[in-house]
């Protein structure tokens, strides 16, 4: 079955997104959708999206204002699609359903998986995630010093999500520090991710769990409810597939470049990263030897953004 290349548009106004309803008689009919449609032969995806947004909802967009969100391959059984998703918050015109379809502005939190075609799940995940995923560092630091330092760095960066990674601590020491960080983060709307075994969440009700690959590989089903956030550390293609099978909300993939925290790991480089991200069916953060300056480059390579220690931990 030939794959259909679909240009999909995430049009933002503040924190709300333009959503349409697919006609009852269309493929995946009756469900909600991001406006868009098939890329015609000879058309670039951005051109196709500019055309579709005009035809479907009456908006005029400059293709230079489109930014990549994610690319998702999905097999519906009766149709195979490649959803090539782009976003913009710059448009002219008042959106209206030019093909008679209802359109509305919905907050990201009001987008529910079951209202959309199945292929949209990772798109909704991607829209809920930021472009930076900071990970704590500094092997050897512990106790109050580690908690204080982490809070100071978080106060400076103000991320919306953060991974507390400290594999050098005992389980008790890790849980103690994580409990203090959770109080601090909750008061500032920072989603704190724990690192390691899903059972940690029973002691500390953090936003979610990030599984190192050696933990992820032993699991066969998603280890937490869909309201929690599941991240998985991946390094190669079969690991990405397993993370998707576990229902991961996102993965990290790397190392992309050489990194001081894992000096023995062989970097995959941007070309390989781009290839793997294109085949992934969950949002992928680029990891390893990157800094905040690499966010744009990572997004061009198909990433959700940049994850890492070096991105924010030093330069206190
Ligand atoms: N536009 C859009 N299509 C989606 C989404 N999710 C999803 O699985 N699809 C699928 C459904 C369709 O099989 C395909 C898009 O086709 P379409 O019906 O929008 O194509 P089109 O606008 O060119 O319409 P037509 O010429 O076939 O009438 O992608 C989504 O969020 N937006
Ligand atoms: Mg369409």
Domain boundaries of the chain, sorted by first residue: 3-124, 132-308
What is the CATH topology of the domain spanning 132-308?
A: TIM Barrel (3.20.20)
Considering only CA atoms, which residue is closest to atom 1 of ligand 1?
A: 36
**Rounded mean pLDDT, 139-143:** 86
Our answer on whether the CB atom of 83 is closer than 6 Å to any ligand 1 atom is yes
Share of the chain above pLDDT 70, in %: 99
Q: Closest Cα to atom 7, ligand 1: which residue?
A: 117
Q: How does residue 100 score in pLDDT terms, banded at 50, 70 and 90?
A: confident
Mean pLDDT of the chain: 94
Q: Which ligand is nearest to the CA of 121?
A: 1
Q: What is the pLDDT of residues 234-250, one digit of tens each?
A: 999 999 999 999 999 99
What ligand 1 atom has the least distance to the C-alpha of 36? 1
pLDDT digits 0-9 by tens, 47-91: 999 999 999 999 999 999 999 999 999 999 999 999 999 999 999
Question: Pocket of ligand 1, candidates 20, 32, 37, 80: which has the most ligand atoms within 8 Å of its Cβ, to mutate?
Answer: 37
Ligand nearest to the CA of 5: 1
At residue 311, the pLDDT reads 67
Rg (CA), the chain: 20
- This prediction's pTM: 0.91
For residue range 36-46, what is the model confidence (pLDDT) as tens digits?
999 999 999 99
Residue 102: both structure tokens together: 């209802």
Cα 249 to Cα 211, 241, 243, 274: the distances in Å are 12, 13, 9, 19
Is the CATH code 3.60.15.10 the one for domain 3-124? no
The pLDDT assigned to 138 comes to 83
Query: What pLDDT, on the 0 to 100 scale, is given for residue 316?
Result: 46
- pLDDT exceeds 90 at position 291: no
The two beta strands, 305-308 and 132-134, are parallel
């Amino acid at each position: 079955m030939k794959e259909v290349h679909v240009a999909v548009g995430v049009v933002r106004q503040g924190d709300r997104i333009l959503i349409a309803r697919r006609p009852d008689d269309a493929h995946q009919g009756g469900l909600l959708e991001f406006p868009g449609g098939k890329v015609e032969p000879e058309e670039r995806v951005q051109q196709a999206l500019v055309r579709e947004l005009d035809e479907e909802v009456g908006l005029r967009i400059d293709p230079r204002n489109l930014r990549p969100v994610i690319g998702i391959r999905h097999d519906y059984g009766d149709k195979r699609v490649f959803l090539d998703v782009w976003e913009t918050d710059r448009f002219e015109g008042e959106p209206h359903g030019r093909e008679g379809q209802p359109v509305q502005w919905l907050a990201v939190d009001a987008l529910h998986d079951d209202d959309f075609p199945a292929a949209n799940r990772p798109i909704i995940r991607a829209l809920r995630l930021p472009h930076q995923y900071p990970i704590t560092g500094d092997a050897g630091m512990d106790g109050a010093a580690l908690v204080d330092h982490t809070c100071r760095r978080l106060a400076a960066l103000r991320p919306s999500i953060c991974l507390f990674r400290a594999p050098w601590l005992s389980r008790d020491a890790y849980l103690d520090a994580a409990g203090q960080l959770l109080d601090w983060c909750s008061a500032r709307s920072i989603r704190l991710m724990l690192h390691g075994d899903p059972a940690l969440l029973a002691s500390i009700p953090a936003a979610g769990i990030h599984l190192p690959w050696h933990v992820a590989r032993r699991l066969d089903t998603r280890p937490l409810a869909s309201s929690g956030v599941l991240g998985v550390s991946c390094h190669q293609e079969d690991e990405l597939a397993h993370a998707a099978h576990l229902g991961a909300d996102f993965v990290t993939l790397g190392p992309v470049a050489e990194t001081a925290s894992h000096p023995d790991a062989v970097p995959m480089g941007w070309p390989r990263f781009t290839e793997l991200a294109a085949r992934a069916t969950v949002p992928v953060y680029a990891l390893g030897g990157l800094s905040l300056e690499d966010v744009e480059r990572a997004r061009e390579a198909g990433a959700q953004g940049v994850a890492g220690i070096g991105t924010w931990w030093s330069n206190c």
